[in-house]
Structure 1
Amino acid sequence: MNSHMKVSADKFLHSVLLLYFLYYFSLISFISGFLGGKVGKNTVEEAASGNLINQIFGLLLLLLTVSSFFFSRRLSVKKFIFENKILLVFIIFCVFSFWWSVAPFVSLRRFIAFSTLILSSYLICQVFSTRSLLNFLLNFIFAVTVIGIVYTLLSGKGLSFGFSSRELGLSGIFLDKNAAARFYGYGVILLVALKRFAVKRDVLILITLVISLLLSQSVSALGMTLIGCSLVIGLNIFRGRNATESILRLMVFTVLSIVVIVSIKHAYEYLLNLLGRDPGLTNRGIIWELLQPFIDDKPNLGYGFAAFWAGDAATAFIDRWGFIGNAHSGYYEILLNLGLVGLCLKILFIAHFFKLAIDCFIKNNLYASFFLSIVIVQAVINYAGFVIFNHNSLDMVLFFLTYFLTIKELNKNGRKQ
């Protein structure tokens, strides 16, 4: 009987895992588009109402996740609270923001979606081994990429290598070209981190992801991928045989990285001009300048969790620029929604994640280089894109997976909480 119950529980958890990836990697949204579901969010009303099919599957995922906490011995509410105090402080502040939100119902619904991402990510990180989960993630990224390529070819969309034809960028099954490009880039970084080069299948995965990245026409995603892979390779090279040696080597690696960053900064405009791109981050500077008065109106607490673009305050901006959905910067976006307090809590959480990843590296964990590369890369790209704490972002899925896996690996290595 116990054996039968264990098999049933394992099947249940594998079903949750599959639903998690189908939902967060946009396959459900993609399929619902063919069934007449609304997948675009081009107006305030569409963004506020969302995709009904997605909402149903999201609620199903939340229900299955919450149910898992009751029957799985590997899950504990007390353990979750104990290990994630800083994250919980941020979550509690988000809840309090409902009281001053300019669109409280929208804040509530998006908070439920945000909580679903956090809880379901924690669940699968706890019940599956790190290696098996990361391997599954890479294989799933490859499968989604192939589906996107086939769909693009069958739909007759044009493709082009290079960085001069943004309208021809390979977006695959995703709505946003840049999100798709980062998706391919994360796959490359993960493959390098897992050192999967031994068999022909893995070489095929690498070639497919690299070609897709080049077809995406995204300079930022290419830069992100190069930085991420460089961090993984560099950190693996500088890994020490013990904690003291790892700390010393990490200090050397940090100094070398600073030298490289300064050199790239001086060549920044030249490189972008060489690639035919705007050094001004594609009008982002103008967008931020226009949003600054709204930030100044509510500087401390903002407009409420995920509420600004659904409220009346954004009307003046939308009338001029149209509906863009977010500030194209995670740091500006949180200033709009949660003010300076929210920004400080966000930076505190990122710093906490960074410290956990460094602790993992010092303890010579096999996956520490990948964890560090993800938190560093996302903290950087969050400046020019709404990535961190965006529950609709593929980046955020990977962010929380690596965050919870980092804690899990530290606990496995005997880290004291």
Structure 2
Amino acid sequence: MALLRENKALVLFLVLTLSSFLWSIDRNETLHTWVTLFSSTLVALDLSIHYSFEKQLRLLCIALVSIVALSVFVELLAPGLIPGQEMEGSAWHGLFGVKNVFGKTVCLTVAACLCTFRKSFVVRFVTVACGIVIGILSQSTSSVGYMAIVVAVFALLPVLKWKPVPRRIALCSIALGSLLTIYYVSTNLDSVTTHLDKDPSLTGRTDLWRYAIDSIKDKPLLGYGYEAFWTYDSVPARRIREAINWDSAPHAHNGYIDLTLEVGLIGLLAYLVLLAILGKRAYVYFMNGPEGYRRWPATFLAFTFFYQLTESSMVGTGCLWIIFCGLLLSLNSEQELAIVEDEMPLSMARFRAHLSTDIPL
């Protein structure tokens, strides 16, 4: 209850998604998926209560490395064991059947390993190299791009701990470089996409975004109900699929557009508040201790922010939502201290308690 009181924004967001049942165009789907969303949040709450932040990261790293290793094993020794989509051809999809989902998992694995293996440059280099190779084999251009962003954020985070003058110069240089890159890509989109072997519409995404935004205009404030818009029987979704000739479009391929379709601009604003809260806590957490695993919250936040620009929303039942809520609930100094003390030997806990009392000279 103490954790929930300190995370009222998360509780209000869950209440909002549940309340969308009242105006949902598919109430059964909204209620069903909300129950699984709530259950995923409980999993994150349980992890936050019973495991220290560093142990959570180690467990996540073990799980992700195991999944990627099994995926590589399947692709090398039994490539037809897990059926994939015909349109993806020979692209690696691992255990998932979809190359983009596999690429996302590889990118997330690289980020977790970088923050876990904090004392070995060689291991970090090998991790990034393996991630790039697997990303190329998956033919997921977006995943390789996310990986580049993750590695850049991880490498540049120590800049925040520099002295004021060098820090300002470095941050201004990074901001200027980012703006110039965005400007170049936006003004030369055709040539950039051609070099990346992609079409300017980003595989039909731009047309999908345009029609989805038009649907948002019909119900801008509250949306169509949580996870209700892209169901099979959804009339507005069917219109979009017919307009762009993409019968199997599962979502808008943009998490922010999807979330606005589901719970409106109010829901999008509530979610952006959650991102801002996590960003603030990640910054404070990173600045108030040694580096290493403390880079994980900010690195993960950067990944999820950019990932949702071209893929579906992370507000669901997948591992991204569990990790997100786990970070949001765990990044609290009092909670972290309490967990650390519980995991200490009894003599060490007593010693710390002894130091906290007033001892007469």
TM-score bracket for the superposition, by shorter chain length: 0.7 to 0.9
The change in CA–CA distance for 1:350 and 1:202 in structure 2 (over 3 A counts) is closer
- What is the percentage of aligned positions where both structures have the same residue? 20
Distance in 2 separating the partners of 1:186 and 1:248: 33
Distance 1:201 1:381, change over 3 A: closer
Tell which deviates more after alignment, 98-107 or 264-273: 264-273
Shift of 1:199: 10
Candidates 236, 239, 254, aligned match of 2:161: 239
Match of 1:257 in 2: 174
Q: Secondary structure at the match of 2:161?
A: coil
**Structure 1 residue 208 displacement after superposition:** 4.2
* Cα displacement (A) at 1:143: 1.2
The residue number in structure 1 matching 2:257 is 332
Q: Note the alpha carbon deviations across 1:86-145, whole angstroms, 9 max, x for none.
A: 111111111211111111111111001111111101211321222222122222212111
Deviations 1:279-310 (A, max 9, x none): 43221110011223321221111111111122
Work out which structure has the larger RCO, using CA pairs closer than 8 Å and 6 or more positions apart in sequence: 2
Structure 2 residue corresponding to 1:301, chosen from 200, 215, 222: 222
* Structure 1 residue 207 displacement after superposition: 5.2
- More deviation in 339-348 or 200-209? 200-209
Supply the RMSD in Å over aligned alpha carbons. Answer: 2.8
Query: Which position in structure 2 is the counterpart of 1:272?
Result: 193
1:212 aligned partner = 134
TM-score (norm 1): 0.70
Paired residues of 1:141 and 1:187 also in contact (CA < 8 A) = yes
2:248 matched residue in structure 1: 323
Q: Which amino acid aligns with 1:256?
A: S
Quote the residue 1:346 is aligned against. 271
The amino acid across from 1:276 in the alignment is D
Show structure 2 runs of 5+ residues with no match: 82-86, 339-361
Tell whether 2:298 aligns with 1:375: no
- CA-to-partner distance for each residue in 1:352-384, whole Å, 9 max, x for gaps? 111111222332353342211221231122122
Contact 1:330 1:382 (8 Å CA) reproduced = yes
User: Which of 158, 161, 180 is 2:102 aligned to?
Assistant: 180
Q: Are 1:283 and 2:204 matched, yes or no? A: yes
2:46 corresponds to which of 101, 116, 123: 123
> One-letter code of the match for 2:96?
F
Whether the 8 Å CA contact 1:303–1:338 is kept in 2: the answer is yes
Partner of 1:94: 17
8 A contact 2:258–2:312 mirrored in 1: yes
Query: CA 1:249–1:228 in structure 2 vs 1: closer, same or farther (change >3 Å)?
Result: farther
Query: Is this contact kept in 1: 2:13–2:270, CA < 8 A?
Result: yes
CA separation of 1:336/1:387 partners in 2, compared to 1, >3 Å: closer, same or farther? closer
In the TM superposition, 1:157-196 aligns within 5 A as 166-196=88-118
Q: Per-residue displacement from partner, 1:10-29 (whole Å, max 9, x unpaired)?
A: xxxxxxxxxxxxxxxxxxxx
**Distance between the aligned counterparts of 1:410 and 1:222, measured in 2?**
37
Q: CA deviation at 1:316?
A: 2.1
Distance in 2, matches of 1:202 and 1:261, equals: 25
CA contact (8 A) 2:117 2:124 kept: no
- Judge conservation of contact 1:308–1:336 (CA < 8 Å) in 2: yes
Within-5 A mapping of 1:399-410: 399-405=324-330, 407-408=331-332
Cα offsets for 1:17-75 (capped at 9, x unmatched): xxxxxxxxxxxxxxxxxxxxxxxxxxxxxxxxxxxxxxxxxxxxxxxxxxxxxxxxxxx
- 1:111 aligned residue (24, 34, 45): 34
- Match of 1:387, SS state, is coil
State the shift of 1:178 in Å: 1.1
Normalising by structure 2, report the TM-score.
Answer: 0.80
Once the 2 structures are TM-superposed, how far is the Cα of residue 401 of structure 1 from its aligned partner? 3.3
Matched residue count: 324
